[in-house]
Chains A and B, each alone.
Chain A
């Protein structure tokens, strides 16, 4: 990849905002419904699927958001793709 291409590479503004809003919404829902979550997720049995699904949903949106976040700040992996073996 050339330097010009690197410089003109678009920053992921729209995906960052979108995943940021979803991620913030998820955390808002989490913190504003604490009693409901404690009672429901603490039931065990078949309700055990709830924390697992929640973890996957959070990891998808928040994980994508954090990736874009560092890219926006200019923090990226080395350009010299590391050849492991």
Chain B
């Protein structure tokens, strides 16, 4: 059992500036999450740690704000017919198992190689996963844009067509987002990978959403909305696990939630104004920018492990600050694109409405 006195000592003092900072980062994180189904955590967790919050408390508190936020976002997007609850729960359950396994890997690495080893593992996972998936998503969005068929219905990949054609008796389940029956033997590893990634880099959606689109054949809007259900299931289980050890700082979690609930409502509404390929644009851009941010930290951890010539304190400081600034930029850019797309969509709709009115009067 944990030490009660030390658990309470893990919780920092909050001043008004800290509260405003957490609220604002929560708002921007919520805005992006409402739109692409995930995001925000990669800035929130290091952001809390920069305030002096211990790593585990930051992860736990982030998770405890994530599941209620995802719940509100999922309910909102369900009103627009974008959520496949069944797919979300099926993937969410296997993601939960992935979270537990991912946390176990993290603990083993930390025991064997210490904090620097664990950080290096997280950064390399970021770089590899975001490098492969992020570039793929962004390339796909770019191809759609160049072909000028942003309005056309999204095409299913060959892989998704094959997945939907496989029939394994006793494992087939119908999912409305796919309008097809697929074997849960395909969803289990995808959910599991989402969970491992969530436990490693805190944003499982960077695997969850692309896998629903490219492997299962779900439309982008439905995939990003269904990710909120997965985030809810994963976040609820994860929060409870951390809360059992008294690691959740409820004040931090609720302040971030305060901002993020304003953001998630906006982000969710934003999805009704944009073309589906915008989900891929925002997600791909954030992934690729965050990749650079984490890549900058790799030499720092390699140096701490004495695997390369040790870096000077000054260089380490510069790399750390630049990495954090790039992450904030990634989130801010995502939020800007969402707001801009929403603004343009609203203006176009209002213009259309005026024209229709003028036409009917005439």
Residues on A lying within 8 angstroms of B by beta carbon are 3, 26-27, 30-31, 34, 37-39, 41-45, 47-52, 54-56, 58-59, 62-63, 66-67, 69-70, 75-85
**Docked-complex contact B245 and A78, CB < 8 angstroms:** no
**Docked-complex contact A62 and B1, CB < 8 angstroms:** no
Task: Offer 27 A-B interface pairs, CB within 8 angstroms, sorted by A.
Answer: A3-B353, A27-B258, A37-B250, A41-B246, A42-B4, A42-B7, A43-B246, A44-B1, A44-B2, A45-B244, A47-B246, A48-B243, A51-B250, A51-B253, A55-B253, A59-B68, A59-B71, A62-B261, A63-B68, A63-B261, A63-B265, A67-B265, A77-B79, A77-B272, A84-B81, A84-B177, A84-B219
Contacts A34-B14, A44-B245, A55-B253; A82 near B271 (Cβ below 8 A): yes
Once the chains are docked, how many angstroms separate the CA of A49 from the CA of B248? 11
- Kindly list chain B residues whose C-beta atoms are within 8 Å of the C-beta of A85: 177, 179, 219, 222
Q: Which of A27, A44, A82 is the one whose CB lies under 8 Å from B243?
A: A44
Give the Cβ gap from B279 to chain A, nearest Cβ, in Å: 12
Q: Which of A47, A52, A54, A58 is the one whose CB lies under 8 Å from B236?
A: A52
Which residues of B from 127 to 142 have beta carbons under 8 Å from A? none
Q: CB of B349 within 8 A of chain A?
A: yes
Give the Cβ gap from A24 to chain B, nearest Cβ, in Å: 10
**Docked-complex contact B246 and A44, CB < 8 angstroms:** yes
Q: CB of B65 within 8 A of chain A?
A: yes
Contacts A38-B8, A82-B82; A55 near B265 (Cβ below 8 A): no
**Docked-complex contact B269 and A55, CB < 8 angstroms:** no
Once the chains are docked, how many angstroms separate the CA of A30 from the CA of B65? 14
**Docked-complex contact B80 and A30, CB < 8 angstroms:** no
Once the chains are docked, how many angstroms separate the CA of A38 from the CA of B7? 8
- Kindly list chain B residues whose C-beta atoms are within 8 Å of the C-beta of A34: 14, 251
Give the Cβ gap from A21 to chain B, nearest Cβ, in Å: 15
Q: Which of A55, A66, A78, A84 is the one whose CB lies under 8 Å from B273?
A: A78
Contacts A51-B248, A55-B65; A27 near B254 (Cβ below 8 A): yes
Give the Cβ gap from B171 to chain A, nearest Cβ, in Å: 24
Closest to B75 in A: A63
**Docked-complex contact B239 and A52, CB < 8 angstroms:** yes
**Docked-complex contact A43 and B219, CB < 8 angstroms:** no
Contacts A30-B251, A42-B4, A43-B4; A52 near B272 (Cβ below 8 A): no
Once the chains are docked, how many angstroms separate the CA of A27 from the CA of B353? 41
In the A-B complex, list the 10 residue pairs whose CB atoms are closest, starting with the nearest: A59-B68, A44-B246, A48-B243, A63-B72, A78-B272, A42-B7, A42-B246, A77-B272, A55-B68, A51-B248
Give the Cβ gap from B346 to chain A, nearest Cβ, in Å: 8
Once the chains are docked, how many angstroms separate the CA of A3 from the CA of B179? 34
**Docked-complex contact B257 and A62, CB < 8 angstroms:** yes
Once the chains are docked, how many angstroms separate the CA of A69 from the CA of B72? 14
Once the chains are docked, how many angstroms separate the CA of A43 from the CA of B82? 39
**Docked-complex contact B349 and A79, CB < 8 angstroms:** yes
- Kindly list chain B residues whose C-beta atoms are within 8 Å of the C-beta of A44: 1-2, 4, 7, 243-247
Given contacts A59-B71, A82-B271, 9 further A-B contacts (CB under 8 A): A3-B357, A30-B251, A41-B246, A48-B243, A51-B253, A55-B65, A62-B261, A78-B272, A85-B222
Hey, what's the 0/1 contact readout for B237-270 against A, CB within 8 Å counting as 1? 0011001111111110110011001100110110
Closest to A23 in B: B258
Once the chains are docked, how many angstroms separate the CA of A46 from the CA of B237? 15
- Kindly list chain B residues whose C-beta atoms are within 8 Å of the C-beta of A47: 243, 246
- Kindly list chain B residues whose C-beta atoms are within 8 Å of the C-beta of A41: 243, 246, 248-250
- Kindly list chain B residues whose C-beta atoms are within 8 Å of the C-beta of A62: 257-258, 261
Q: CB of B336 within 8 A of chain A?
A: no
**Docked-complex contact A81 and B261, CB < 8 angstroms:** no
Q: CB of B221 within 8 A of chain A?
A: yes
- Kindly list chain A residues whose C-beta atoms are within 8 Å of the C-beta of B254: 26-27, 30, 54-55, 58
